[in-house]
Amino acid sequence: MARPLRLEYEGAMYHITARGNERKKIFFMPDDYEKFKDYLKAAKQKYGIIIHSYVLMSNHYHLILETPDGNLSKVMHNINSSYSTYLNIRRKRSGHLFQGRYKAILVDKDNYLIELSRYIHLNPVRAGIVKQPEDYEYSSYRVFAAGKEDKIVDQDTILKMIADQLETGRNQYCKYVNNGISEEIKNPFEAVYGGLVMGGEIFIKEALRQLKDCNLEKDDISYRKELKSTCNIEEIIERTAKLLKVSIEDIKENKIPQYRKIAIYFAKKNTGATNKEIGSYFKGLSYSGVAKTNERFIKEMDGNKEIKAWITELEQNLSNVKG
């Protein structure tokens, strides 16, 4: 599998997420959540990272972290490998715990940190687990709401971006978060460029200048295609299934051939995945099978204005749910 392009430099801030393999659980017991938090503390001490917010869900997690030393890869390898080893021993299991590599989006700190922090703190509310963000135990929001010191989260950065006085900033931040429960808030991930950078045009240009030994004009999957990608394969399948009102398995197992063609077309168009990688998601469809299916569907679409219009509408809906 091609390695995703990583933008690493001193002072960079990221939104990090990692999911359980096949979307299965990565946290089973309260002790598991606490152990993962221990690894966050250890990584903070060892690598000097700054963690601005976090939410640990049963089958995935979200982190907003800053790397003063530009060492994201080392940090995430330490956290994920340590936790995977712990859980494999604890539950006497083997194999991959996480679904592929973690996803890292470089974030424009000045313009998106507060908004992004609110969005991930409201994740348990959107998922219907709790009604109020402070009711969720495995989130940094409780730290912000209670005003207690914490060994994991740095509250001051966010609060001082809101007001000079920490308590004023805290009150305003909590009000801002809670307003997001009743209001329809904007999804900050709609501002992600190429699946890699969250920010405005100037920030994106400055971020890309940080790349070293990298020619973005190359056809290499891990560079140009990854930069262009907007979703990963699983997200494409999940969203396509939702739009078409069928199950993910219906598409994967080719129960409705036309719908699998659509999912393959979207995956080819919107991800940096190879034909082999796409095929592995569709019950072992071969490299050539993916290519032929996509070619046939493009011809079918070009020859049928009704199908083309329908695909255009689906594509617009797909773009509206990024992130």
The CATH number of domain 231-319 is 1.10.1750.10? yes
Over residues 272-282, the mean pLDDT reads: 77
pLDDT digits (tens, 9 = 90+) for 3-17: 555 688 899 999 999
pLDDT digits (tens, 9 = 90+) for 43-94: 999 999 999 999 999 999 999 999 999 999 999 999 999 999 999 998 888 7
Residue 288 identity: S
Buried b (16+ CB within 10 A) or exposed e, 2-39: eebbbbbeeebbbbbbbbbeeeeebbeeeebbebbbeb
- For the chain, the domains span 12-209, 231-319
The rounded distance, in Å, linking the Cα atoms of 141 and 147 is: 10
pLDDT digits (tens, 9 = 90+) for 159-175: 999 999 999 999 999 99
Q: 67: Cβ–Cβ under 8 A, 6 or more apart, which residues?
A: 8, 10, 11, 12, 13, 14, 47, 49, 75
pLDDT digits (tens, 9 = 90+) for 89-132: 988 887 789 988 899 999 999 999 999 999 999 999 999 999 99
* DSSP assignment of 247-301: -HHHHHTTSSHHHHHHHHHHHHHH----HHHHHHHTTS--HHHHHHHHHHHHHHH
pLDDT-derived band at 235, boundaries 50, 70, 90:
confident
User: Do the domains 12-209 and 231-319 sit in the same CATH topology, yes or no?
Assistant: no
Find out whether 138 and 123 touch, Cβ atoms under 8 Å: no
The rounded distance, in Å, linking the Cα atoms of 259 and 246 is: 9
Over residues 288-292, the mean pLDDT reads: 84
16-25, 33-42, 191-200 — which is least confidently predicted?
191-200
The rounded distance, in Å, linking the Cα atoms of 280 and 254 is: 13
Q: Torsions phi, psi of 51, nearest 5?
A: -100, 120
Long-range contacts of 92-99 (CB under 8 A, 24+ apart): 95/21, 96/21, 97/20, 97/21, 97/26, 98/18, 98/19, 98/20, 98/21, 98/26, 99/18, 99/19, 99/20, 99/21, 99/22, 99/23, 99/234
Helix axis angle, 72-90 to 30-47, nearest 10°: 150
The rounded distance, in Å, linking the Cα atoms of 6 and 307 is: 37
Residue 149 identity: E
- What fold characterizes domain 12-209? Alpha-Beta Plaits (3.30.70)
Output the pLDDT for position 195: 76
Find out whether 65 and 51 touch, Cβ atoms under 8 Å: yes
pLDDT digits (tens, 9 = 90+) for 185-225: 888 887 787 778 898 878 887 877 765 444 444 433 343 44
pLDDT-above-70 percentage for the chain: 88
The rounded distance, in Å, linking the Cα atoms of 194 and 270 is: 9
Residue 214 identity: C
Token pair, residue 290, equals 């993916």
